[in-house]
Structure 1
Amino acid sequence: MQYDEGELDRRELLVSFIRDYGDDLKRIAYLYLNDLAESEDIVQEVLIKSYHQLDSFRHESSYKTWLIRMTINLCKDHKKRWSVRNIFYKQEAPEVRDHKLTETDYIQKESSNEIMQQLARLAPKHKEVLILYYYEELTMQEISDVLQINHNTVKSRLLRGKQALKEKLERREDHG
């Protein structure tokens, strides 16, 4: 099979997307959807979509920003689908299989799981800025670019999101 030079460039770019951004995109999708299989599907869809839309990429942002924006949009679309919205399922808590975990490690792991569960329950506008800021370590300006919203809106959502997450965690502690 022969490829023209442009096709090879596109393939090399796709490989670099996977290598450079694949883990970040999967983390964003997972934190957004709280489902590993679905997050992997979303990332695969983003990569396929980016490959087919490379010719229309306008270089108004970085590739990373473009791919993150696509990931978030596909996660939002996924959450809107009837089948996902109307089927309730509860994921089972994973068993502790590693008996070598120290008590401190276990507490930190449980605390991290609790934060992720409560983060998943936040309003999307708060969840997405918290994910991008804390997990992807993007600056407020980069978040503004990714989400295509005003810098001050990012600040406001970040503050409100942190407050909402704190309240959820405190309520959980009071009832737990």
Structure 2
Amino acid sequence: MSAERLQDGECDKDELLERAMEEYGQAVLYMAYSYVKDYGLAEDIAQEAFVKFYGKVDSFRGESSLKTWLLRITINQCKDHLKRWDTRKILLTNKVTEILHERGDPESKAIEGEKRSELHLKLLKLPVKYREVLFLYYYQELKVNEMADVLGLNPSTAKTRLKTGRERLYRIYGEGGRQDG
């Protein structure tokens, strides 16, 4: 799928949006979730990313793949969302609720544990700069240069973050899930 087909008149914006949603919808949703850690909010951000994609698809220059461009839009939407004061206030409230929930009864802990995979939980414990490169590399199967393009980084920085992220994730597993912060 490419914007060239749009420019050549082979498909219209609506068709391109539909294809992008089919091909990259899960990737966009997972990327948003990796930032905000709330599925409902991630769905909203993914929707906003596709709206922005639709509005700006005519300006796509083809310097990267459509997937890379769409993931960059998603990351920017997430960062914009996380910068807002009301979001930080909600995240703090959610963290307090999470701490109180962790102290809940063992049965609810067991049910919650079944809902999320161990790797996913441990990945979410990492700082965003490591979480995002691991997500893009392993879940989206992007090469280091593509990751660097999506994140607006130098390829060597992306490679270093990937290595450090792997090491930190390994340490989390090695310590039985504890992280020193």
TM class by shorter chain equals 0.7 to 0.9
Shift of 1:174: 6.1
Q: Give the number of equivalent residue pairs.
A: 158
Structure 2 unmatched runs, 5+: 1-8, 102-107
CA contact (8 A) 1:31 1:116 kept: no
Show the counterpart of 2:6: none
Distance 2:172 2:93 in 1: 21
Show the counterpart of 1:149: 153
Structure 1 unmatched runs, 5+: 1-5, 98-105
Distance 1:12 1:156 in 2: 38
Show the counterpart of 1:88: 93
Shift of 1:95: 6.0
Normalization by structure 2: what TM-score?
Answer: 0.76
Q: Relative contact order, CA 8 A, sep 6+: which one is greater? A: 1
Show the counterpart of 1:26: 29
* Aligned 1:51-90 pairs, distance under 5 A: 51-86=54-89, 87-89=92-94, 90=97
Relative distance call for 1:141 and 1:156 in structure 2 (3 A) is same
Percent sequence identity over matched residues? 41
Distance 1:51 1:72 in 2: 16
In structure 2, which of residues 116, 122, 142 is the aligned counterpart of residue 118 of structure 1?
122
CA contact (8 A) 2:172 2:178 kept: no
- Aligned-residue RMSD, C-alpha: 2.6
1:109-151 CA-to-partner distances (Å, cap 9, x unmatched) read 67x6333233223222111101101111111121112112111
Please say which of residues 116-125 and 56-65 is displaced more in the overlay: 116-125
Show the counterpart of 2:4: none
